[in-house]
Amino acid sequence: MNSSMNSLEIDHGMQALALIDPDIARAYKQLGAPPERHRPKGFETFLSAIVSQQISTKAAQAIFDRVKELMVDVTAKELLSLDDQALRDAGLSWRKIEYAKGLAEAIESGSFDIEELDSLNDKEAIESITRLRGFGRWSAEIYLMFSLKRQDIFPADDLAILVALGRLKGVEDKPTPKQARDMVEHWSPWRSVGALFLWHYYHGAPI
Rounded to a whole number of angstroms, the distance between the first and last alpha carbons of the chain is 37
How many other CB atoms are there within 10 angstroms of residue 23's CB atom? 15
Give the active site residue among 21, 122, 158, 173. 158
Write the single-letter amino acid at 105: E
Q: Going by C-beta distance under 8 Å and a sequence separation of 6 or more, which residues neighbour residue 47?
A: 64, 67, 74, 79, 100, 103
Known catalytic residue at 158: yes
CA atoms in the 13 A half-sphere facing the CB of 37: 16
> Which amino acids are annotated catalytic?
158
